[in-house]
Structure 1
Amino acid sequence: MATLLTANFTLAVDFSILNVALPHIGADLGFATSALQWIVTAFALCAAGFTLFFGRVADLFGRKRLFLIGIVLLGISSLAGGLAQEPALLIAARIGQGLATAMVTPAALSLMTTMFPEGPARSKALGLNGALMAAGFTAGAVLGGLLTGAVSWRWAFFINVVVALAVIIVAPIVLREPAQGTRPKLDVPGAILITAALVALVFGIDNAGHHGWVHPGTWAPIVGALILFVVFLTIEGRVKEPLVAPGLLKRRNIGWGNTAGLLAFGTFTSLVFLLTLYLQEVLGYTAITAGLILGVLGIGTVIGGLIAPKIIGATNAKTAIVTGLIVQAIATAPLAFAGDSRSWLIPLLILTFVGGVANLVAIVGYTVASTAGVPANQQGLATGLVTMSQQVGIALGTPVMSAIATGMVAATLLPGLQLAIGVNAGIAIVAALLIALFLRLPKAAPVPAA
């Protein structure tokens, strides 16, 4: 567990550690300002686009094996990124980090879910994982600012090399995986279609944040992604050994559980983006100070991940999701009235702390719900879906909230931020209602196929 949690925490840090450093990287390596987005986009496209594919590969060819390959790739690509002297090599390194994330995250999650049977032990493991991953997102922003200011942005890459070496040494000794029986064939057409669809979707969403929703570079990839999804589902119903069994997607705990995860990640990661703008552009704090202020939110997420298993044990995963989303919405709504005075800092700290706790309760709940009742030989696929909903939610939330915040014609940014935060709280409430109405947990886990 320590090895798996360390790996996932490191990958979560990678999502945000370079955000503060982008201007410095551009100046050092000669990136055009318009091209800096590709440092983030290249990572996101691969991390989200390939996660479902690698989740299934983990089931077919071994989770431990894929985990180790991903960690090796993380170490090599991070070393290349830290040593990069030109933009092309840095982008290649970020692609390698994104692919490593797509390999390691579902493999690590499926190792956890097969290591522990359904119940309190699995909920506790997933709670710890959720707590550390959420802490990683927040820590990445703070650590990136500190490293860039104190040493160099290159250490944001070199830290991964140290972690990867430690995991490579320890993991082969401590990780265990049950022996697998007959391995089915990989559905290559399905894998190509779903990967292309996810890459197109994330690319379109990412473009929305830079060019707006009516730009051809936004809506054309999104429409293409929807067409590819339809073709994928059609083919999967006819293939003898599909990448995603249609029956799995029809399970209400999986379909609606992952919907909850997408909305939980989308609302709260985009709220962090909005609050970062509020703290810097409205209240006038520096980037490092803003990151440290949001560290309180990170503490809340860690606590939420630790108490979530107890809530799930006392009730169930569905109740945890619904309760978490409602409390998150209640904590977010007052921030829609935040003014331009620094007297709002204390209420902001309290509300984001409470919201962070609640969000992680919902996230752990959706992870437990979305892997419940799934046979061991499909856990890689189930955790691939969990990872996919997480990463698509992260990619979707910020452009949507950014478009709302900047779409208002006003003398200052504050009215737009207030509107976006209000919409954010509304989405959390709607998500809670949808999950309360439509999510159904399996009554008992099925007996895995021999």
Structure 2
Amino acid sequence: MIELHRIRTDKKAIIDGLHKRGLSNAEGLIQAIYNLDIEKRAIQLQLDNLSATLNKLNQEIADVLRKKDPAATLEAKKEQSNQLKKKIKQLAEKFKAHGSDLLAQLYTLPNLPHESVPAGSHADDNVIIYQTPRMVVKGGSAHWDLVKKYDLVDFELGNKITGAGFPVYKGKGAKLQRALINFFLDQALKAGYTEIQPPILVNEASAYATGQLPDKEGQMYQIASTPFYLIPTAEVSITNIYRDAIIAESALPVKHVGYTPCFRREAGSWGADVRGLNRLHQFDKVELVQIAHPDYSYAKLEEMLTYVQGLVEQLALPYRVLKLCDGDLGFCAAMTYDIEVYAIAQDKWLEVSSISNFETFQSNRLSLRYKDKTKKTCLLHTLNGSGLALPRVLAALLELNQTPEGIHIPKVLQPYTGFDIID
């Protein structure tokens, strides 16, 4: 959530940033918030003045009682007190309503892009900052045919049990899936992350705190007759550990990793772009979360990018790194790198990780702070990245490593699978 004091002090910069995000009505949105904030503060001033008057009047009533002045004087002052209390109550309700309206309007605003984010309005404007050479496998099969041939993943069975987008992993397919999870977790632990096993259900407050609500309400699964949502990523659960927290500056950065199943409703309709493992309603992911000092968060973003690149390189997958443009940034992100692996048989790039710096956007909602050297309380920066999302990694691995003899397992995974080929 954009900090209100920034709207008060530099409306133009906020409006310019929102224009970059594609909000053509940014001026109207920010002016409405600005005006509502002025009204809310005016009500607060009235409340403060009335409260002071009431306190003075209550002292006068106490003096009348102590001096035993005429009853008429006492009754008049009591009536004044009652009228003041009614007015204060009405103003307090108005103040609360203005606060709710102000928060609701702030919740609709996306984060402002960092100054280094490329200009652009859609994915075609993203900038490729690194790419390995493409590899060619002539006559290779797409992963949806490979998993059927070797009985690794059953989409029809998943459709029978639940519906489209909920595959069943079987035999060596299930073991390869588990191998990837354990490999990613072990690598993160070596890199200094602390493992968290969080809930996969969160309440509404948690979803608001990390920006899933109200922006992605249509993409989340809500459990009927409950206030709980299935998480779209472990970021939601892990980051909310620190809601309403003050972290010692000496404890920064906080680095967590967690594996969870993830659930997203927007998996899309059947077609070439969503076929097989390319896009699912339920999928497994290992997530990286960092909480950093504002002065060092962009250095931490680069550190996370380098780390995730290392994972892909250990799996020997061809890949590229994109720096997302203004118009393709996620709602909460100030800057994002996407890592895409090349699925050879499909001849397409598949996103397997988004690594983002949210700056103070989430921490403002979370009330996640630290105290600087002057003892002033300041907002921290939050970052997250996939390390990695499994379905597309699995799809690319299968397509890349297929041979007439079977599918070879990358050497780094063999200690986890216990086999070196799927045949």
Instruction: Please give the range of the TM-score, normalised by the shorter of the 2 chains.
Output: under 0.3
TM-score by length of 2: 0.24
Q: Which has the higher contact order (CA 8 A, sep 6+)?
A: 1
TM-score by length of 1: 0.23
Structure with greater proportional helix content? 1
Structure with greater proportional strand content? 2
